[in-house]
């Protein structure tokens, strides 16, 4: 009789007791499949959040969203003055204006995504602690915001390319897959820096210097032939795997007639671009997912 009246939960460990009653750890990281499913269900939230961020970022400016085009154009004008006229890099590059503008617009897409990605978690702690949603929505929304800005910039870029004498050719269509691969690369890299920035809040102070060095090493402002002319062979071979150099070269070869690749192989350049997109996209996603239960705590 005593055994019948005994508490069935007696003698169970806390973990066994929780499992018996269907309790789970608060904030437990879901499986990668379940997490991906959650992200898909929140796709409209990501889109709406990205659009809201884009609108809010220029809400206090008189010219509004026109600044998303004016900013890279202004940078292009400054760099053209320094590198094109003062340092005379334009002598070695046909259509230097279009060459420079293409490099700046493509690099700016990654630069701003990464810079803002460092604060994707640390800058949204109130939202994270108040609402339950897959945290990858935040870095993905940043990438989506910058992608929308890039689309506006590309319209201006195409006008510059035509105005400087470049013909409209079927090669222009290659810009579409090149930008899509870069977008996947940006999304993965933004998730990586988002997780790093969640713990190391000083990362946002260091990142501008890292990005500036990356820009100078990606042939944005000068001919990529300078790498082959001034670096030893092994260093040039390493540089050709620089992801930003690869995406910039693909954009230039798509839009500009008299442009040459550093490795002289278009198939190899596409393979490198695809490899970086797969590595950064998948690797960044997995790296961010593994820290899901940490975001917003402590």
Place of tokens 């790296």: 287
Predicted confidence (pLDDT) at residue 121 exceeds the cutoff of 50: yes
| Half-sphere exposure of residue 54: CA atoms within 13 angstroms, side-chain side | 23
Average pLDDT rounded to a whole number, residues 142-150: 92
CA 246 to chain CA centroid, Å, is 14
User: In the prediction, which pLDDT does 25 show?
Assistant: 53
Quick one: what percent of the chain has pLDDT higher than 70? 82
Domain residue spans of the chain: 39-294
pLDDT-derived band at 124, boundaries 50, 70, 90 = confident
The helix or strand, by DSSP H or E, that contains position 89, with its residue range, turns out to be none
What is the Cα–Cα distance from 11 to 17, expressed in whole angstroms? Answer: 9
C-alpha dist (Å) from residue 209 to 72, 127, 243: 18, 29, 18
Mean pLDDT of the region 88-99: 75
- Pairwise pLDDT comparison (52 vs 255), residue with the higher score: 255
């Amino acid at each position: 009789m005593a055994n019948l009246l005994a508490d069935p939960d007696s003698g169970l460990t806390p973990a066994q007791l929780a499992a018996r009653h269907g309790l789970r750890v608060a904030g437990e990281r879901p499986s990668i499949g379940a997490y991906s499913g959650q992200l898909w269900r929140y796709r409209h939230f990501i889109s709406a959040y990205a659009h809201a961020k884009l609108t809010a970022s220029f809400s206090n400016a008189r010219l509004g969203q026109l600044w998303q085009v004016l900013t890279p154009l202004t940078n292009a004008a400054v760099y053209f003055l320094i590198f094109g006229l003062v340092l005379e890099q334009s002598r070695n590059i046909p259509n230097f204006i279009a060459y420079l503008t293409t490099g700046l617009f493509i690099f700016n897409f990654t630069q701003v995504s990464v810079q803002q990605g460092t604060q994707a978690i640390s800058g949204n702690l109130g939202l994270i602690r108040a609402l339950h949603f897959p945290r990858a929505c935040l870095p993905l929304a940043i990438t989506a915001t910058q992608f929308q800005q890039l689309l506006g910039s590309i319209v201006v870029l195409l006008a510059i390319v035509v105005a400087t004498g470049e013909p409209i050719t079927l090669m222009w269509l290659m810009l579409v897959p090149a930008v899509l691969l870069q977008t996947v690369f940006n999304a993965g890299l933004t998730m990586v820096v988002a997780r790093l920035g969640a713990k190391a809040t000083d990362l946002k102070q260091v990142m501008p210097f890292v990005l500036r060095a990356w820009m100078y090493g990606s042939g944005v402002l000068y001919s990529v032939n300078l790498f082959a002319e001034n670096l030893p062979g092994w260093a040039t071979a390493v540089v050709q795997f620089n992801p930003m150099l690869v995406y910039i070269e693909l954009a230039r070869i798509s839009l500009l007639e008299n442009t040459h690749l550093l490795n002289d192989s278009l198939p190899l350049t596409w393979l490198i671009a695809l490899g970086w997109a797969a590595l950064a996209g998948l690797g960044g996603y997995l790296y961010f997912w593994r820290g899901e239960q940490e975001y917003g705590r402590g």
